[in-house]
Amino acid sequence: MKLNIALLAGDGIGPEVIDQAVKVSNKIAEKFGHDITWTPALTGAAAIDDCGEPYPDSTHAVCEAADAVLFGAIGHPRFDNDPSAKVRPEQGLLKMRKKLGLFANVRPTFTFPSLIEKSPLKRERIEGTDLIILRELTGGVYFGERGRKDNNNTAFDTMTYTRPEIERIARKGFEIAMTRSKTLCCVDKANVLESSRLWRETVQAMEKDYPEVTVSYEFVDAVAMRLVQWPNSYDVMITANLFGDILTDEASVISGSMGLMPSASVGEKTKLYEPIHGSYPQAAGKDIANPLATVLSAAMMFEDFGLTEEAKTIRDVVNKSLAEGYVTEDLAEGGTSYKTSQIGDWLVANI
Ligand code: IPM
Ligand code: MN
């Protein structure tokens, strides 16, 4: 297969982890006879420095023309502590999601047999955990009306959802549920929020179209609790943008490190694959960040191209590296650890 992939390394550790995913993908291409062209483009703080825009039109053109986007991370401390900054790197990510119509963010959480003891949760609680949080990505409070009033003394952000916005993410949820345990959990705050009541009403009306799927409705605060009590009791969940942002960070630690979980964002145009972690600026340039979430994001990309064997080969070699203790410092607990680039080289050598 001929693949043209837009490569958006972004900020912080982005370029380092992206490098490893590229090495691994190129090795997979060589092994299975594919031809990958990588087209790099700027985003985040790096793009602001270059042209004052975190997601320039030139980058959007590269993404639109590509078969997929592989994305590193975005964010820079220089902006975090400056609430008055006019442009922020994160705006680039939001603009990209909106312009590519990436309304569904697929964030899996699973455990690795060799890492069960690294989880802050007890073995019996997490064994067998394999869930997907489907986060709505282009609506809700992230994109609602916002502003200041009362001489700058009041601020507001609005959580708005339309019925079609809810229907399209819910449809994805039902479809994924059909390929798994045929259960779907709709996570909301319908006891308080009007937008959540519209979510519930909309999803309830769709149940008849998927008679095989059993739907449950749970409040987000209760889910936040049960997710760390009995994560293996969940399978497919759908939720609004902000709830999904928070729950997926929470869920990511179940596996033992935030540096392990991949994600895919899908919708109207080019799909995007990225690790769920941030730009980890303290580690930038040190060659210590865990590249596995990005490598596994590349595996999700191959899977979506129908290249199942290729995806499985990546997941298998990642599992092998973990089982053999070939890990970065976040997983080494003071024991022997390896550099980001060494992990990439090891994966390539073992494919
Ligand atoms: C994520 C990140 C982003 C989000 C930030 C960087 C804008 O936290 O992808 O989860 O909040 O969506
Ligand atoms: Mn987040």
pLDDT digits (tens, 9 = 90+) for 19-38: 999 999 999 999 999 999 99
**In Å, how far are 202, 240, 244, 316 from 198, measured between CA atoms?**
6, 11, 17, 42
Contacts of 342 (CB under 8 A, 6+ apart): none
Percent of the chain clearing pLDDT 70 (strictly above):
100
**Does 244 score more than 90 pLDDT?**
yes
**Does 86 score more than 90 pLDDT?**
no
Confirm whether 172 is a catalytic residue.
no
Summary mean pLDDT of the chain: 95
Tell which residue, 18, 1, 69, 21, has the closest CA to residue 308: 1
Q: Is 284 in the pocket of ligand 1 (CB under 6 A)?
A: no
> Could you tell me the distance, in angstroms and rounded to a whole number, from the CA of residue 91 to the centre of ligand 1?
10
Confirm whether 345 is a catalytic residue.
no
The pLDDT, as a whole number, for residue 265 is 97
Ligand nearest to the CA of 135: 1
Percent of the chain clearing pLDDT 90 (strictly above):
89
On whether the pTM is more than 0.75, the answer is yes
Residue 39 bridge partners (DSSP)? 6
- The protein residue with its alpha carbon nearest to ligand 1, atom 11, reads 245
**Does 257 score more than 90 pLDDT?**
no
pLDDT digit string, tens, across residues 113-133:
888 988 899 999 999 999 999
- The protein residue with its alpha carbon nearest to ligand 1, atom 3, reads 90
- Band the pLDDT of 199: cuts 50, 70, 90: very high
Pairing of strands 130-136, 104-110: antiparallel
The pLDDT, as a whole number, for residue 92 is 92
User: Mean pLDDT throughout 251-279?
Assistant: 92
Ligand nearest to the CA of 11: 1
Residues bordering ligand 2, an ion, CB closer than 5 Å:
245
> Could you tell me the distance, in angstroms and rounded to a whole number, from the CA of residue 71 to the centre of ligand 2?
14
**Does 82 score more than 90 pLDDT?**
no
The pLDDT, as a whole number, for residue 79 is 86
**Does 78 score more than 90 pLDDT?**
no
Ligand nearest to the CA of 250: 2
Q: Is 93 in the pocket of ligand 1 (CB under 6 A)?
A: yes
> Could you tell me the distance, in angstroms and rounded to a whole number, from the CA of residue 289 to the centre of ligand 2?
18
Helix (H) or strand (E) run with residue 222 in it: helix 220-229
Work out which ligand 1 atom sits closest to the CA atom of 75: 6
The pLDDT, as a whole number, for residue 333 is 85
User: Mean pLDDT throughout 271-290?
Assistant: 95
Contacts of 65 (CB under 8 A, 6+ apart): 4, 6, 39
**Does 259 score more than 90 pLDDT?**
no
User: Mean pLDDT throughout 208-234?
Assistant: 97
pLDDT digit string, tens, across residues 302-333:
999 999 999 999 999 999 999 999 999 999 98
The pLDDT, as a whole number, for residue 114 is 87
Give, in degrees to the nearest 5, the angle at Cα 320 between 72 and 285: 30
The pLDDT, as a whole number, for residue 294 is 98
Q: Is 245 in the pocket of ligand 1 (CB under 6 A)?
A: yes
The pLDDT, as a whole number, for residue 7 is 98
